[in-house]
């Protein structure tokens, strides 16, 4: 659907409703609009010696770092990434310049004729290589701990250590990255597919060097995000804005799928080493964890991704003596950034597989071993915070086991697998035509909202409600809808508080000219934090409902008094509350092809109280499937610094035929500081799926798994290694 728009300021107040239909970024067409394409580095690390651009046809433009009127750095935590490369390029795909003009085909011809001369520099392409080079290749490094782990290890009856690896993951949102920039002679407006309009606005203010009142950001209808539109849109919003400023005309920049997969941020690869001390009773008495994340070429959001990974690295378990160290390493690969779970999936995979392997080492049932170590209400977290909420994990675990028939299946599968392999002493394979079967459990939690004091000191969220003369109520927040449901759940919170129908409560896509800064739509915070602010604002509005035909109320975030946090030492309550979950996954492994088939998936979740159960179940089921893809099939490799799987023909994601329906159950456990008791849920569902699948496969093949995704190729390596070890013995 295309529609030409005239003056963008006067005639473009509702970009998501052109002709009464949803309009994505690629659907927006302005009068005299130009198109932009990006010239990108083909080297992972190089010095730019020269750029030869042929003479351009009339009406075509080059936009590069010289056209950035302010600071050529994308506003983020570290501000280290340039909008356009300067003297150096640091990854394949780094933007060097734009070609802007009226015809896409001509733009492609011009791009293909540009010649860049490089002086090739040695790239650093992996965690171990970057680690060996020391501080020069380290973005950040942190350490936390509690108790006396050195004493626990000195007195241990047994010590077990292992390392765990996870790789890149692609977001594969249905709609690729896209923005349109306009300039009206005094102000820049960017319309785009994004999660965080005020992040983008801050980046534009810095890049343009202008005051805030000259910059406007409008979220268009957004076709999925999963974190991939948290940080990255700031870069291309700058590109579109600088191009509109130079040309004086609207400029649209929309990626095709190949460019999107090749150049945008990914989930951080991880290398996590865990060392545990066991006392004479077989109880974990001390833990040491070392986390290394690959941040790619620029730091971006990596520091807070690492923090969340560290704060979740002991999972749902009570360990009184702990030491945790973490680093984010710089490599010449595509930058890594926000992705659903934000460091927690990597950490939880490691600790869950470690606890599973510890139980098998001790000859104990993995579920019973995990239950023995569970956190309880009043216990201390890894950062020394106290769990104030009611922890209902024991009953949640039992419910998940009952739903899945876990106990009987685990016993039957173990016996059946033993029968199949009893005559195969030299191999881990079962006879051809028969399947190895396994069932695995993961237990997990996820901290809701921003880490530490972020909600109080950095975000300071604000919301507004406006009652109109016709009796309708408008929600004014920066919270973005991209498929996860806030346009429904936030309206329901307001409607229920006011005692009015949901149909008269309006919630449009955010426009920074109209809505206050409610914070980014990330970190499982929207319903819990923004929803609570709207509940308070609605109470105030209700109290003065009859005072005037039109009236507004506002609400600003106030941190609960019990949340105490030292950001320098990382001590105290890292999160105001946690959501909790338990997953069971059942698998069959083909001994001939080593393909894994998932035969059952079950989950029990504590997300407080559901505002809309249908949306919540959709979030949970979708998160589990995405997590199973991460654990079983989504291979993305770095070949010489380049993403090798840069199309949906090469990068496999789950379809509806790959996994069975997810059976979910909710445990109601209201949180006093959430709207009607709600907590966060969007990221929780993702976190536990991969370790449950890996645990099931490990139980099926009888060999330890230390890496995801669990592909047939990886299983072949594992089984071949086991056979080789037996032969050497």
Query: Domains in the chain, start-ordered, CATH in brackets?
Result: 3-121+171-263 (3.30.365.10), 270-450+573-728 (3.30.365.10), 454-558 (3.30.365.10)
Looking at residue 2, what is its pLDDT?
37
Band of pLDDT at residue 19, cut at 50, 70 and 90: low
pLDDT above 90: residue 585 = yes
Band of pLDDT at residue 129, cut at 50, 70 and 90: very high
Looking at residue 434, what is its pLDDT?
86
- CB burial class (10 A; 0-12, 13-18, 19+) of residue 476? buried
As a dihedral over the C-alpha atoms of residue 123, residue 126, residue 129, residue 132, rounded to 10 degrees, the angle is 120
197: nearest Cα among 492, 487, 518, 452: 518
Residue 619 to residues 267, 355, 486, Cα–Cα distance (Å): 19, 27, 12
Tokens read off for 351: 């600790």
pLDDT above 70: residue 118 = yes
**Structure confidence by residue, pLDDT tens digits, 476-492:** 999 999 999 999 999 99
Residue 680 to residues 392, 421, 531, 576, 607, Cα–Cα distance (Å): 16, 44, 11, 11, 6
Tokens read off for 52: 């030869």
Average pLDDT over residues 523-530: 97
Angle at 355 between CA 349 and CA 360, to 5 degrees: 125
Tell me how far apart the alpha carbons of residues 282 and 29 are, in angstroms, rounded to a whole number: 66
Percent of the chain with pLDDT over 70: 94
Strands 34-40 and 251-254: parallel
Q: State the CB neighbour count (10 A cutoff) for residue 20.
A: 5
Tell me how far apart the alpha carbons of residues 679 and 606 are, in angstroms, rounded to a whole number: 8
335: nearest Cα among 294, 303, 388: 294
Average pLDDT over residues 388-417: 97
Tokens read off for 222: 């957004």
Looking at residue 3, what is its pLDDT?
34
pLDDT above 90: residue 204 = yes
Looking at residue 424, what is its pLDDT?
46
Strands 251-254 and 178-183: antiparallel
Whose tokens are 């974990």? That residue is 284
Looking at residue 313, what is its pLDDT?
98
Band of pLDDT at residue 431, cut at 50, 70 and 90: low
pLDDT above 70: residue 458 = yes
CB proximity list for 419: less than 8 A, separation 6 or greater: none
Whose tokens are 């490369």? That residue is 85
CB proximity list for 612: less than 8 A, separation 6 or greater: 485, 488, 489, 492
Tell me how far apart the alpha carbons of residues 22 and 34 are, in angstroms, rounded to a whole number: 22
């Amino acid at each position: 659907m295309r529609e030409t728009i005239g003056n963008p300021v006067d005639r473009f107040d509702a970009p998501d409703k052109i002709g009464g239909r949803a309009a994505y970024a690629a659907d927006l067409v302005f009068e005299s609009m130009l198109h932009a394409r990006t010239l990108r580095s083909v080297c992972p690390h190089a010095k730019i010696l020269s750029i030869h651009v042929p003479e351009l046809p009339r009406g075509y433009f080059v936009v590069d770092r010289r056209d950035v009127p302010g600071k050529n750095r994308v506003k983020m935590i570290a501000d280290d990434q340039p909008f356009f490369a300067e003297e150096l390029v640091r990854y394949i795909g780094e933007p060097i310049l734009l070609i802007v003009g009226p015809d896409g085909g001509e733009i492609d011809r011009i791009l293909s004729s540009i010649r860049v001369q490089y002086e090739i520099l040695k790239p650093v392409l992996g965690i171990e290589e970057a680690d060996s080079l020391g501080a020069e290749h380290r973005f950040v490094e942190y350490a936390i701990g509690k108790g006396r782990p050195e004493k626990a290890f000195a007195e241990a009856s047994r010590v077990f250590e292992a390392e765990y690896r996870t790789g890149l993951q692609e977001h594969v949102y249905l709609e690729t990255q896209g923005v349109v920039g306009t300039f009206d002679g005094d102000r820049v407006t960017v319309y785009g597919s994004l999660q965080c309009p005020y992040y983008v606005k801050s980046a534009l203010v810095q890049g343009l060097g202008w005051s805030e009142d000259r910059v406007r950001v409008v979220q268009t209808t957004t076709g999925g995000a999963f974190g991939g539109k948290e940080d990255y849109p700031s870069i291309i919003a700058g590109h579109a804005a600088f191009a509109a400023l130079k040309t004086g005309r609207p400029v649209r920049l929309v990626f095709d799928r190949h460019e999107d997969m090749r150049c945008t941020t990914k989930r951080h690869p991880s290398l996590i080493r865990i060392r545990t001390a066991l006392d004479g009773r077989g109880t974990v008495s001390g833990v040491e964890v070392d986390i290394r994340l690959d941040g790619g070429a620029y730091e971006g959001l990596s520091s807070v991704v690492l923090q969340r990974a560290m704060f979740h690295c002991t999972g749902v378990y009570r360990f009184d003596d702990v030491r945790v160290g973490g680093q984010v390493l710089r490599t010449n690969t595509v930058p890594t950034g926000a992705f659903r779970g934000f460091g927690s999936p990597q950490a939880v995979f490691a600790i869950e597989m470690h606890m599973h392997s510890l139980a098998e080492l001790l000859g104990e049932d993995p579920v019973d071993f995990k239950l023995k170590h569970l956190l309880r209400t009043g216990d201390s977290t890894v950062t020394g915070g106290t769990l104030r909420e009611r922890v209902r994990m024991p009953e949640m675990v039992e419910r998940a086991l009952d739903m899945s028939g876990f106990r009987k299946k685990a016993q039957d599968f173990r016996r059946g697998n033993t029968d199949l392999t009893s005559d195969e002493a030299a191999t881990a394979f079962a006879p051809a035509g028969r399947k190895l079967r396994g069932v695995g459990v993961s237990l997990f939690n996820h901290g809701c909202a921003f880490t530490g004091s972020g909600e109080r000191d950095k975000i300071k969220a604000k919301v507004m409600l406006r009652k109109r003369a016709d009796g309708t109520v408008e929600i004014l927040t920066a919270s973005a809808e991209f498929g996860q449901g806030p346009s429904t759940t936030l309206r329901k919170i307001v409607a229920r508080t006011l005692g009015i129908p949901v149909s008269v409560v309006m919630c449009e896509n955010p426009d920074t000219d109209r809505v206050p800064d409610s914070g980014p739509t990330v970190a499982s915070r929207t319903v819990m934090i923004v929803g609570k602010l709207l509940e308070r604002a609605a109470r105030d509005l209700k109290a003065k409902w009859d005072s005037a035909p039109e009236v507004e109320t506002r609400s600003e975030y106030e941190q609960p008094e019990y949340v105490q946090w030292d950001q320098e030492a990382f001590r105290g309550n890292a999160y105001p509350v946690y959501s909790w979950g338990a997953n069971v996954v059942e698998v069959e492994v083909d001994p001939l092809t080593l393909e894994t088939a998932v035969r059952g998936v079950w989950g029990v979740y504590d997300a407080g109280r559901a505002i809309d159960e249908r949306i919540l179940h959709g979030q949970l089921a979708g998160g589990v499937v995405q997590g199973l893809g991460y654990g079983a099939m989504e291979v993305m490799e770095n070949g010489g610094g380049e993403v090798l799987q840069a199309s949906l023909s090469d990068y496999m994601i789950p379809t509806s035929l790959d996994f069975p329906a997810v059976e979910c159950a909710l445990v109601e456990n209201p949180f006093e500081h959430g709207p009607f008791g709600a907590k966060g849920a969007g990221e929780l569902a993702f976190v536990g799926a991969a370790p449950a699948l890996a645990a099931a496969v490990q139980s099926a093949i009888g060999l330890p798994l230390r890496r995801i995704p669990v592909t047939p190729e990886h299983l072949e390596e594992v089984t071949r290694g086991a056979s080789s070890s037996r032969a050497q013995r």
